[in-house]
Structure 1
Amino acid sequence: MAYERLFRLDGRRAVVIGAGSGIGRESALALAAHGADVVCADRDLAAATATAERCGGAARLLDVLDTGELRAAAAAEHPVDVLVFTAATNVRKRLLDYTGEEFDRVVALNLRASFEVIRAFGAGMVERGRGSIIGFASIRASVTEPGQGVYSATKAGLVQLLRTAAAEFGPSGVRVNAIAPGVVETPLTKQIKDNPAWYDAYAAKSALGRWATAEEMAGAVVYLASDAASFVTGSVLHVDGGWTAVDGRFDPPN
Structure 2
Amino acid sequence: MRSDADTSADTAAGADYGRLFRLDGRRVAVVGGGSGIGREAARALVAQGAEVVVADRDEAGAAQTARLAGPGASPFLLDVLDEEALTAAAADWGPLDGLVITVGVNVRKRLADYSVAEFERVVALNLRAHFSLVRACAPAMAARGRGAVVSLASMRAFQVEPGQGVYAASKAGLVQLLRTAAAEWGPQGVRFNAVAPGVVRTPLTDQIAADREWYDAYARASALQRWARADEIAGAVVYLVSDASTFVTGSVLTVDGGWTAVDGRYDPAV
TM-score range, shorter chain: over 0.9
Within 2, Cα distance between the matches of 1:204 and 1:194?
A: 16
1:4 deviates by: 0.4
Partner of 1:180: 196
Q: May I ask how many residue pairs the two structures share in their alignment?
A: 253
Give the number of the structure whose alpha-carbon radius of gyration is greater. Answer: 2
Give the drift of 1:109: 1.1
User: Is 1:13 matched with 2:27?
Assistant: yes
CA distance in 2, matches of 1:128, 1:252: 58
Deviation at 1:53, TM superposition (A): 1.8
Shift of the alpha carbon at 1:123?
A: 1.4
Is residue 54 from structure 1 mapped to residue 43 from structure 2 by the alignment? no
Residue identity in the other structure for 2:43 = L
Q: CA deviation at 1:118?
A: 1.0
CA positional deviation for 1:249: 2.7
Matches of 1:158 and 1:21, distance apart in 2: 21
Partner of 1:211: 227
User: What one-letter code is carried by the residue in structure 2 that aligns with 1:21?
Assistant: S
**What's 2:256 paired with?**
240
- Which sections of structure 1, spanning at least 5 residues, go unmatched? none
Tell me how far apart the structure 2 counterparts of residues 126 and 71 of structure 1 sit (CA, whole Å).
Answer: 17
Matched, 1:85 2:85: no
Match among 189, 193, 202 for residue 205 of structure 2:
189
Cα distance in 1 for partners of 2:126, 2:141 equals 22
Alignment of 1:1-254 (within 5 A): 1-55=15-69, 56=71, 57-247=73-263, 248-251=265-268, 253=270
Q: CA deviation at 1:250?
A: 2.2
Percentage of identical aligned residues: 64
The one-character-per-residue Cα deviations of 1:133-184 (angstroms, maximum 9, x if unpaired) are 0000000000000000000000000000010011111100001000000000
Deviations 1:72-119 (A, max 9, x none): 101110111010011001110001111111111111111111110111
**For 2:61 and 2:21, how far apart are their aligned partners in 1?**
27
CA RMSD, aligned part only?
0.8
Write the letter of the residue equivalent to 2:250: G
Instruction: Indicate the SS of the match to 1:250.
Output: coil
Aligned to 2:24, the other structure's residue is in SS state coil
CA–CA distance in structure 1, aligned partners of residues 268 and 80 of structure 2: 46
Shift of 1:8: 0.4
Q: Residue type of the partner of 2:266?
A: R
Distance 2:237 2:262 in 1: 24
TM-score (norm 1): 0.98
